[in-house]
Amino acid sequence: MRYNAIDNSLYINNRSNFVSHLKPKSVAVFNSNDMMPTNADGLMPFRQNNDLLYLSGVDQEESILVLFPEASNPKHREILFVKETSELIAIWEGEKLNKRSATKQSGIETIYWLTEFEQVFHTLAIEAETIYLNQNEHLRAVTTVQTCDDRFRAECKAKYPDHNYERLAPIMSTLRPIKSQLEIDAMQHACNITEKGFRRILDFVKPGVMEYEIEAEFAHEFLRNRSRGFAYTPILASGFNACVLHYIENNMECKAGDVILMDVGCEYANYASDMTRCVPVSGRFTDRQKDVYNAVLRVMKGSTSMLVPGTDHEEYHEEVGKLMESELIGLGLIDKTDVANQDKENPIYKKYFMHGTSHHIGLDVHDIEHRSRPFEQGMVLTVEPGIYIREESLGIRLENDIMITKDGQHDLMANIPIEVEEIEDLMNS
C-alpha cells in the first residue's frame, strides 16, 4: 500500500465495539472485494471492502475476517485468512501479507492461509448458533455484479440451512458513522492534500485551459502526497457544464468570463475527502457571479451552524431549504408570490437547488448512515449547497467536510480558501 499504515489500535477497538452487538454464540464473516476484470487479462485497481478494512486494516484481495467471540478455542475468536504468498507471487506481483505482517497490520494473532478457510469455518459453524453475513445495503447502491460476500452467503446458507442468519449491515451502519480520532486524523490528512491540490490549480486556471488539464494538476498533487488519487470521479465543470450535477467528461475548454465548478477530493488510507470550490476562469468574478457565490456561501455557513448533536436529518434539510429560499428571492430568481403558491411537496427553491445539502463521509464518500438517526458527536458530514442557473450558464456549489463536536462543529477544510476576495487575490498574486 502507498499510504502510511494506521495504528492497529483502531482496528482492535473497532472489533471490540463490533462484537458487543452480536447475539450469543454468533460467528460473523467478512469477505474482501474481488479483483474486477477489464478486458483480456486486465484488472481494475483493487479497492478493499470497507467493512473488512474497518475491522482489520487489511487492504489486500483474497482475505476473510471471521469473528466468533464465544468460540471454545480462544485462538478462534478472531481469525484472519489471507492468501498464501510465495517467491513466485513476490516476483510477479510484489510483496503480500505473510502471517507476521498480517498480525502487525490488524492486531489479530490467529492468521491462517485462505486454503484452510473451509475446514476451519466448518468447525466454527458447528459450534455457532447464528451466522452473520454481509451485504451491500447502502441506500444508493445499485448492485448488478455478484460480490464475494454474495457468493459466500449463498454457499453458506446451502451448506448450513438450519442455522439462524443475521445481517451485518445494520451493525456496521450503527458503528461506522461515529469516527474515532485515528479516523479523523486520516480524513484530515486527505483534506490537507486536497487543499494542496486546490492551491496548486489557483495558479494554473486561465482562459484556454482544458478541464482535464485541471484534473491532471489535482491528480499530480494527490499522487505525490502518497494518495491513490481521487476519492471519487472528479467534476471539473466550466460554464454551463456546472449546471449538470454529475458532469464528469471534463473535456471542454475553460473560457474567459466563465466560472469553473470543481468537485474533487483526495483519498488517503481509504478515507475520503469531498470538496467543491468555484473559481473565475479569468481570475475575477463578475458582480452577478459574486452575488450568486456569496448567496451560496451564506447558505453554507448557516447550514454548517446547524450541524450539532441532536439535530434531525430531515428537519435540517427543511431549514436549509428556507435559507436557500430567502437567498433566491434576493437574487431575483423567485419571488414571494412563487413561495406563497409553491407545492410544499416540491418547494420552489428546488428549481435552482435540486440536491441534498449533506451526506456522511468516511471510508465511503457517501458513507453508510441511518437517516432517522439524529446527528451525534463524531459524525462527519459534507455541507454542499448550490445554485444552478441554466439560463445564465452559471452553477455555484461550495462544499466542506464538517465533524460534529460536543459543542458544535470542526471544519476539516477550514484552511482551504473559500471567500471571494481570498480566491481572487490568490489567482492574481
pTM above 0.85, yes or no: yes
24 falls within a domain: yes
Q: Which of 136, 151, 175 is the last residue of a domain?
A: 175
Instruction: Give the CATH number, domain containing residue 74.
Output: 3.40.350.10
Question: Does one domain contain both 212 and 355?
Answer: yes
Q: Which of 129, 157, 175 is the last residue of a domain?
A: 175
4 falls within a domain: no
Question: Does one domain contain both 163 and 198?
Answer: no
| H helices, E strands: number in the chain | 13, 17
2 falls within a domain: no
Question: Does one domain contain both 187 and 171?
Answer: no
Instruction: Name the β-bridge partners of 82.
Output: 63, 113
Element (H, E) at 111: strand 110-113
Question: Does one domain contain both 333 and 385?
Answer: yes
- DSSP code at position 344: T
Q: Domain of residue 273: give its range.
A: 181-427
1 falls within a domain: no
Question: Does one domain contain both 68 and 189?
Answer: no
Question: Does one domain contain both 56 and 187?
Answer: no
Our count of domains for the chain comes to: 2
Instruction: Name the β-bridge partners of 229.
Output: 267
Q: Cell 484534473: give the residue.
A: 215
Q: Cell 439524529: give the residue.
A: 374
3-state SS of 289-328 is HHHHHHHHHHHHHHHHHCCCCCCCHHHHHHHHHHHHHHHH
Quote the CA–CA distance of 105 and 12 in Å, as a whole number: 10
Q: What is the pLDDT of residue 280?
A: 98
Contact 49, 33 (CB under 8 A): yes
Instruction: Give the CATH number, domain containing residue 416.
Output: 3.90.230.10
Quote the CA–CA distance of 335 and 169 in Å, as a whole number: 45
**Series of mean pLDDT values for 10-residue runs along the chain (429 residues):** 93 98 98 92 91 97 97 97 84 85 97 97 97 88 86 96 97 97 98 98 97 98 97 98 97 98 98 98 98 98 97 95 97 94 91 96 94 95 98 98 96 98 97
3 falls within a domain: no
Q: What is the pLDDT of residue 137?
A: 79
SS3 149: helix
Question: Does one domain contain both 148 and 249?
Answer: no
Question: Does one domain contain both 250 and 210?
Answer: yes
Question: Does one domain contain both 206 and 281?
Answer: yes
Q: Which of 150, 175, 200 is the last residue of a domain?
A: 175
Question: Does one domain contain both 85 and 45?
Answer: yes
Question: Does one domain contain both 252 and 274?
Answer: yes
Question: Does one domain contain both 40 and 154?
Answer: yes
Q: What is the pLDDT of residue 141?
A: 78
